[in-house]
Amino acid sequence: MEYKILPVGSMGTNCYLAWCPDTKEALVIDPGFEPQKILREIESLGLKVKYIINTHGHMDHIGGNQELHLALKAPIAISSEDAGMLTDPSLNLSGMVGNPISSPAPQHLLAEGDSIDFGDCSLQVLATPGHTPGGISLYGHGVLFSGDTLFKQSIGRGDLPGGNHNQLIASIKTKLLPLPGETKVLPGHGPDSSLAQEAASNPWL
């Protein structure tokens, strides 16, 4: 699996493209903003996008869904618990900042234990609730797309509507830290890390 980080928008969201080098089948993970920039990158890499995936339903992770969905004809995938956030600006928090965003409803629902296959590659869905009720992380090929669950030296907020700080800590400790320490952490904002580094020095854990 290969991947590329595309920082998008003023909130510094990390949108990721992940693809199978043999078939060029690809995922777009968290297209928060700047869909035209994401589309240009997809085109220049020659990728065939199979799914648009949201690690959770906050505005800064879903804002590009609509344009990408229309341009690529790829299904939008999110957990069932966060699905309602896509179409409701008050739930995805965009209403709160006076710039209501909505996305098409998802065509595909993700749950713990699902495999997302693209070409010869596969990522496993881990339910990591706490930042939102249906937050997910994606694991495989030595990397973890951790959304807003785990950051380098920090964790996601647990105090937003639907969030739960203790549940977030439990998700990280029971689902993420047991994975191999050399796993590269690719978070929804900010720089990358490794699970071993976070287990050793993240002040929240």
Which residues here bind Zn ion, judged by CB under 5 A?
58, 148
Residue nearest to Zn ion (CB): 58
Q: How far is the CB of 85 from Zn ion (least distance, A)?
A: 10
Q: How far is the CB of 120 from Zn ion (least distance, A)?
A: 31
Closest of 27, 76, 77, 22 to residue 48, by C-alpha: 27
Q: Which is nearer to Zn ion, 35 or 187 (CB)?
A: 187
Q: How far is the CB of 163 from Zn ion (least distance, A)?
A: 9
Task: Please classify residue 10 by burial: count the beta carbons closer than 10 Å to its beta carbon, then call 0-12 exposed, 13-18 middle and 19+ buried.
Answer: exposed
Q: Which is nearer to Zn ion, 50 or 175 (CB)?
A: 175
Residues β-bridged to residue 77: 53, 108
Q: How far is the CB of 184 from Zn ion (least distance, A)?
A: 21
How many residues in the chain?
Answer: 205
Per the CB < 8 A criterion, the answer to whether 83 and 106 are in contact is: yes
Q: Which is nearer to Zn ion, 58 or 175 (CB)?
A: 58
Q: Which is nearer to Zn ion, 1 or 155 (CB)?
A: 155
Q: Strands 121-127 and 136-140, how do they pair?
A: antiparallel
